[in-house]
A and B are shown apart, each in its own frame.
Chain A
Amino acid sequence: GQQLNQSPQSMFIQEGEDVSMNCTSSSIFNTWLWYKQDPGEGPVLLIALYKAGELTSNGRLTAQFGITRKDSFLNISASIPSDVGIYFCAGQTQGGSEKLVFGKGTKLTVNP
């Protein structure tokens, strides 16, 4: 089945540092979504991308939809302790179901 390769698997950073994570796929997606999940909670939508090459920001978060439609990245600038959590990328393919295919997640730890 379809798979998203998300990296890195985990990151340990100092407060104030910038963070970058990405997802790649062998399949083309027409929508990329980035979610954050806190322990015991549901994923929360951070950014949605709908066009190849699109660059979208949400506060300190910036995400891009790769020009090939097979990748996306998420950047977090000036990290703060509340950025701790697991970040997931998700893609939706063209046609058919609107189901999301998820990456395995990037676990972010921010040291104050």
Chain B
Amino acid sequence: DSGVTQTPKHLITATGQRVTLRCSPRSGDLSVYWYQQSLDQGLQFLIQYYNGEERAKGNILERFSAQQFPDLHSELNLSSLELGDSALYFCASSAKRSSYNEQFFGPGTRLTVL
């Protein structure tokens, strides 16, 4: 158990809908990262938050957004869903001590868009 929790485990929805994925980082970790894993693209970085502030963006679509709350949990919002958004979405957290960046991953949310 990495200490990172994600809910829900599975999500099935229809095209055009909006969903919210939730992540709670390991206790004490200030950084939260979101990654998307699909069969053709592999693991791709979406976005990072550090202590409530957006720190970096990757290949995140404009239809997607995220935020990190004062209690450090994070939510990833996916809207106007398309079939191609079906994937595993992972959250990871790290403590960011000096130059060390050991990211620990949650169990993921499997999103299926029908």
Contact = CB atoms under 8 A, between A and B. Distances in A.
Contact of B107 (A41, A88, A102): A41
Interface in A1-33: 1, 30-31, 33
A96 B35 CA distance: 18
Q: Is the interface of A mostly helix, strand, loop or mixed?
A: loop
Chain B interface category by residue count: 20 to 34
Q: What DSSP secondary structure best describes chain B's contact surface?
A: strand
Interface stretch (A43-51, A53-61, A70-78): A43-51
A101 B46 CA distance: 11
A50 B33 CA distance: 20
B103 interface: yes
A42 B107 CA distance: 4
Interface of A: 1, 30-31, 33, 35, 40-45, 48, 50, 88, 90, 92, 96-105
